[in-house]
Amino acid sequence: MISIVLYGRNDSYGYNLHKRAALALNCMAEVLSDPADEILFVDYNSPDDHPTFPEAIADTLTDKVVERLRILRVRSSIHDRVAMRTHLVAIEPIARNVAVRRSNPANRWILSTNTDMIFVPRRRASLSEIAGGLADGFYHLPRFEIPESLWEGFDRRDPRGVIERVSELGRTMFLNEIVFGGEVIKYDGPGDFQLMLRRDLFRIHGFNEEMLLGWHVDSNIAKRLHLLHGTVGDVVDELFGYHCDHTRQVTAAHSHRAASNDSRVFVDHVTHATVPAQAASWGCAADEIEEIRLGRSSHHVYMHGLRGVLTGEWATPALARYTPESFDQVTYDARHVLPFIADLFSSAPRHWTIAWVGGRVDTFQLFCRVWDRLGFEGRILIPEWSSPLLLPGAPARVSVVELAHLGAAADVVLVDFGEPSQASELVDRRVDKAVDALMRRSFADLVAVERARLAARVPPRRFICLNAIHNARETMVLEEIAAASTPFATRMRHGFVKPQADSYAETTKTPGTDPPAAPPPLLDAMRLGDSGRRVKRGILAPFGRRGVVLHGPHRLVPAGTYRFDIAVRAHSPWSLAAAIRPIVIDVAAGGDRLAQQRCYFLLRDTLRIVFTVPDRVAFEQPIYLRVFRGRFVDFVITGIELVRLSAAEAPDEEPTNELRRLLDLHPEPRKAM
């Protein structure tokens, strides 16, 4: 008989959202009685790694809701098509159209309403019975307001009791005030009850999807249906509708500065019921929209995935130490980290492809099994160097690709810094060292690829790094990733690549993209030496004092070739002496000098020094520049920039060949675990 259409997202829109939404859903299900009745909730643009809103509050919903609720998930990728044209994160007409197009064809009526309404039948037992007796047309209902302090006290799990109490409070608290509106809407706030024929909505191409700024979506559909039928009906004799007010907290839509759709364009000047421009596309007609039932929610899928993979149990708690003495000595049990890894994927799109970079086989094989049981259809990509360790016994969907393709093709990147020797007796510590060198290079290259993508305004991807807490790899990861402060027990850091490293600029250009913007100057990060002092224009090397002018920035960087650009200018006429007296600059990391040269700055305005950061130094020792000057050289350093010259180039063959040589020492097949 009726398809109730609602929309929302998993956020905190307005005060006490979860409470009023549960009240509304439970009470709506309570007044449905026809077997074909359904509640369609469009979860619009919730973050991909979050469950839908109804899944998040499932424990507060009644069995009647679970039976009738269909959740239609509109992913962020669909919203991205219009994101540049709106300030809103949930677009009402698109969301409602997705539900209307996919509603039960057997139902005559569509009720467009919101997740803060409680309906109270006055004479008949159910909304279904009321709708069954109505003539063709479209119907509105006056809205009565319930103060927040009233509905806050309702028991969301007792919808029948709530409906009865609201009916009584409407009278005794003097809430039942009918507020009339214009001719085509009849009552103020029509969007909380618009009962429309399903066939009419298909005939007029649904809600107008050009209304991207909020407000008047309900008035627009009312005006168009008024043009179709010539009048608007009401059901106030049969039904009261109560709205759980939530304006105690001002939301984006209720702000006095909120942008809105132009009512003159979308209401006053509307002369046709149809929207021909969206006739073929309304409701995301060409998109495959995920449908979720609470009996098969992400929680159930998550548990199904893990239960089929993890066997046995820990009879006693495992022990680990998170102390200064245990730094760089901590490892992990693959079975322990698996639930935390799977948690990040339980709500993700099932078409995703993942890039897996690492050499620890037990974690990889457990993940492959969970990936299948969670219902993922995408591939698992691994780099060529890891194939001898990971590929034997791997499922068919695992593909070996070049690192550049792996970084470009994946929807999410997982980097496992776990040591291969922890998973196989056939692997020794020499293999761990070879894999570590390849891991560091692979991580740096993947970060560089991601920065090129970000510069091209491609949506960021999540980087998940295992075994990246309480060790040297954590420092490397946090240098490049804006990571969450996850608990030690997870053994992981995850987040998104920083758009531009604080310490260097990427200059490698990915085909089809613009180069990333240069980072801010590093001059402020430099430390003064004995012969330098800060002035308004930069750092001055004054006449008559020799020694170190400055040193810094003491930053960790990946392996690669770099260049320091030092902008200088003369400070006084005596600076001409510098034409024959050199400035010495060098670059070091710890106790290692990486490069040194003499410069005569008056011959140019930028001093440059090129150097290479080797694997043994990368992310281990902070690099720093030093500038030395003689007694009769005075100048001002006005800017410093650190440029990485070849961040995205493929690593050379030496580490890969070393890994192959070590693995050839153990020719026995590596069995699946």
- Specify whether the CB–CB gap between 593 and 586 falls below 8 A: yes
Predicted pLDDT of residue 257: 63
DSSP 14: S
Please name every residue paired with 134 in a beta bridge, in sequence order, or none if there are none: none
Strand order in the sheet with 2-8: 233-234, 138-140, 194-197, 109-112, 2-8, 38-44, 69-74, 290-292
Class of domain 2-292 (CATH, top level): alpha beta
d(CA 306, CA 294): 19
Class of domain 523-644 (CATH, top level): mainly beta
Distance linking the first and last C-alpha atoms of the chain: 54
- Specify whether the CB–CB gap between 653 and 438 falls below 8 A: no
d(CA 88, CA 514): 28
Domains 297-506 and 523-644 are alike in CATH topology: no
The fold for domain 297-506 equals Rossmann fold (3.40.50)
Sign of the torsion angle spanned by Cα atoms 83, 88, 90, 94: negative
Q: What SS3 string covers 26-58?
A: HHHHHCCCCCCCEEEEEEECCCCCCCCHHHHCH
- Peptide bond before 487: cis, by omega within 30 degrees of 0? no
CB within 8 Å of 299: residues ≥ 6 apart = 51, 55, 58, 346
d(CA 567, CA 572): 16
d(CA 48, CA 10): 10
- What is the Cα gyration radius of the chain? 32
- Specify whether the CB–CB gap between 670 and 389 falls below 8 A: yes
Predicted pLDDT of residue 601: 54
Other C-beta atoms lying within 10 Å of the C-beta of residue 527: 12
| Token pair of 373 as six digits | 């049981």
Q: How far is CA 484 from CA 233, 375, 492, in A?
A: 53, 27, 9
Pairing of strands 462-466, 412-416: parallel
DSSP 187: B
Backbone angles phi, psi at 648, to 5 degrees: -100, 5
Apex 273 CA angle, 270 and 279, nearest 5: 115
d(CA 207, CA 44): 16
Pinpoint the alpha helices (H) of 402-510.
403-409, 429-455, 472-480
| Token pair of 599 as six digits | 């410069």
Q: Is 208 helix (H, G, I), strand (E, B) or coil?
A: coil
Mean pLDDT by 10 residues, the chain (673 residues): 96 83 97 97 94 95 97 96 93 98 98 97 93 96 95 96 97 96 93 97 97 95 96 95 84 64 94 96 96 90 93 94 90 95 94 95 96 94 92 90 88 95 78 87 89 88 95 88 93 90 41 41 84 86 80 84 86 56 84 85 72 82 86 79 65 67 58 41
Backbone angles phi, psi at 443, to 5 degrees: -60, -45
Which residue bears the tokens 């009720």?
111
Quick one: which of 609, 610, 606, 597 has its CA closest to 639?
A: 606
The residue length of the chain stands at 673
Q: Is 384 helix (H, G, I), strand (E, B) or coil?
A: helix
Pinpoint the alpha helices (H) of 458-523.
472-480
- Specify whether the CB–CB gap between 573 and 564 falls below 8 A: no
d(CA 242, CA 177): 11
DSSP 514: P
Q: Is 390 helix (H, G, I), strand (E, B) or coil?
A: helix
Predicted pLDDT of residue 659: 79
Quick one: which of 634, 613, 650, 504 has its CA closest to 565?
A: 504
Predicted pLDDT of residue 407: 85
Q: Is 383 helix (H, G, I), strand (E, B) or coil?
A: strand
DSSP one-letter string for 628-665: EE-TT--EEEEEEEEEES-TTSPP-HHHHHHHHHHHHT
Pinpoint the alpha helices (H) of 318-379.
334-343, 361-373
Domain boundaries, given as residue ranges, for the chain: 2-292, 297-506, 523-644
d(CA 497, CA 562): 20
d(CA 351, CA 405): 18
- Helices 334-343/361-373 angle, 10° precision: 40
- Specify whether the CB–CB gap between 139 and 214 falls below 8 A: no
d(CA 505, CA 561): 12
DSSP 502: S
Pairing of strands 117-121, 623-629: unpaired
Pairing of strands 492-497, 481-483: antiparallel
